[in-house]
Structure 1
Amino acid sequence: MHSQMPAPIDACACPLCGQPNQCAMEAAKVSGQPVAKCWCVNASFSPELLAQVPAASQRKACICQACATKEAHG
């Protein structure tokens, strides 16, 4: 039997909606530029929102600002 390799995680895409997450740290890795402070440093993510992130993407891809804001404002 052939085991399928899991799809690679796109660290620049939100694991909830798939849109670009605007992660400054990932952008810096891609561009080779110095790391800028990311918007998420001052954001708070509820345990309920974090629980929606697929296990394979946890701690590998940031939730985007739109999903974080939508959740925060209910």
Structure 2
Amino acid sequence: MPPDTDSPAPDAGRCPLCAGRNGCAMELQRLTGQVQPPCWCTGASFPPDLLDRIPAADRGRACICAACAAPTVP
């Protein structure tokens, strides 16, 4: 199901699971216009059960933070 476009967009700099800063390099680049190195998350694997915890309206709109992903980061 696509994200609910009637609800306000989540802060892309915050984790959709804990609302902490997610350290997303892609979001930093979008905000500043300054090229960033690849984000840590591009090398991480996120199991379906972790992704399923993200509220449906927030899926694909903000990165999970390293702390929430810790059990899955290689």
TM-score of the alignment, normalized to the shorter chain, above 0.5: yes
Q: Deviations over 1:28-67 (max 9, x none)?
A: 0111101420000110101000000111111110000000
Q: Which residue of 1 aligns with 2:30?
A: 29
Q: Distance in 2 between matches of 1:38 and 1:55?
A: 23
Q: Distance in 1 between matches of 2:8 and 2:19?
A: 14
Percent of residue pairs identical: 47
Q: Which residue of 2 aligns with 1:72?
A: 72
Structure 1 runs, 4 residues or longer, greater than 4 Å off: none
Normalised TM-score (structure 2): 0.83
Q: Which residue of 2 aligns with 1:11?
A: 12
Q: Report the alpha carbon displacement of residue 72 of structure 1 after superposing the two structures with TM.
A: 3.0
Instruction: Point out where structure 1 has 5 or more consecutive residues left out of the alignment.
Output: none
Instruction: Point out where structure 2 has 5 or more consecutive residues left out of the alignment.
Output: 1-5
In the comparison of the two structures, how many residue pairs are matched? 68
Q: Which amino acid aligns with 1:11?
A: A
Normalised TM-score (structure 1): 0.83
* Alpha carbons 1:28, 1:36 under 8 Å: kept: no
